[in-house]
Chains A and B, each alone.
Chain A
């Protein structure tokens, strides 16, 4: 795994601006669940661990809801 992101459900408003900017198309709207605001939040859908932690989604996010992690050699 090179990187990963987490989306803070408490902050996400479901605007989906993070989805088109992901170069690998790894983000999606979680249409089967709601957050406390009553919207479908964005979430990472990355079973193949393709996320590189490039930060594009975090830069596009108006709510600063996305935290980006990158792998460093232990």
Chain B
């Protein structure tokens, strides 16, 4: 029987990424960890590197990310993902290696490991999810917590006089010579999510070209511990976090030949 194709055929244009396992995540509803997972998986799919990628999970809410990525994965001690990734990458220089770390992991207990991985110019990529709070342990104050932000360990709001001001890791790492690509993006709306995906792609390309340490900081939401609805949590990123953690490119690799006249890297915007 001949079927007349009166109706146009519906073709999938967006599907579940192959580099994610088909497992519901443990993340709270509305948490943008899921968006970050999805973007990284999409980029791995697009680059065709699923068989050649090794991730290193951190401690924090992202501790189970090894269950969600359909790539090889290792799980590091708290804050030590860059140290483990150093070994993984040096032993497997032909593989793409990335760490996936939160701010409690990377900016606090792991501050030494991330800094010295950048100092050594280790050729792996760090995805740094900054949600300005410790998520897994119950919403305590992190180094990245905003001044005045209420957390379970700063119930009257963070007081900079006694606990300091938010630590800007991208700015800190960008001035290290060994860092090749350091940018900050946000996950608070569709436009920013698209930009974040481009940065993730660029970071992995930088690693593939062997240019050195790369990091993409992603401003992320924590609706549960901020005590906000998911949509209000995205507005909190836009209105409260972005002014403190400005989005932008803090270090870009020097373009070979083409950018002869341009200053090498710092401060430029894509």
Partners in one complex: yes
A→B interface (CB under 8 Å): 1, 3-4, 8, 10-11, 13-17, 20-21, 37, 39, 53, 55-56, 58-64, 66-74
Assess A17 versus B8: contact at CB under 8 Å? Given A59-B193, A64-B34. Answer: no
Assess A13 versus B11: contact at CB under 8 Å? Given A20-B231, A59-B193, A64-B34. Answer: no
B14 A67 Cβ-Cβ under 8 A: yes
A1 contact set on B, CB distance < 8 A: 7-8, 10
Of B16-24, B73-81, B261-269, the one contacting chain A is B16-24
Residue of B nearest to A70 (CB): B13
Compute how far the CA of A63 lies from the CA of B29 in the bound complex, rounded to whole angstroms. Answer: 9
B13 A69 Cβ-Cβ under 8 A: yes
Residue of B nearest to A11 (CB): B24
Compute how far the CA of A59 lies from the CA of B192 in the bound complex, rounded to whole angstroms. Answer: 10
A68 B12 Cβ-Cβ under 8 A: yes
Q: Return 16 A-B CB contacts under 8 Å, by A number.
A: A1-B7, A1-B10, A8-B16, A16-B230, A17-B30, A21-B190, A39-B29, A55-B13, A62-B33, A62-B34, A64-B16, A66-B14, A67-B12, A69-B12, A71-B9, A74-B9
B24 to A: closest C-beta gap in Å? 6
Compute how far the CA of A3 lies from the CA of B14 in the bound complex, rounded to whole angstroms. Answer: 11
Top 3 A-B pairs, shortest CB-CB distance = A62-B34, A74-B5, A15-B30
Assess A62 versus B190: contact at CB under 8 Å? Given A3-B10, A68-B13, A72-B9. Answer: no
Check if B194 is an interface residue, CB within 8 A of chain A.
yes
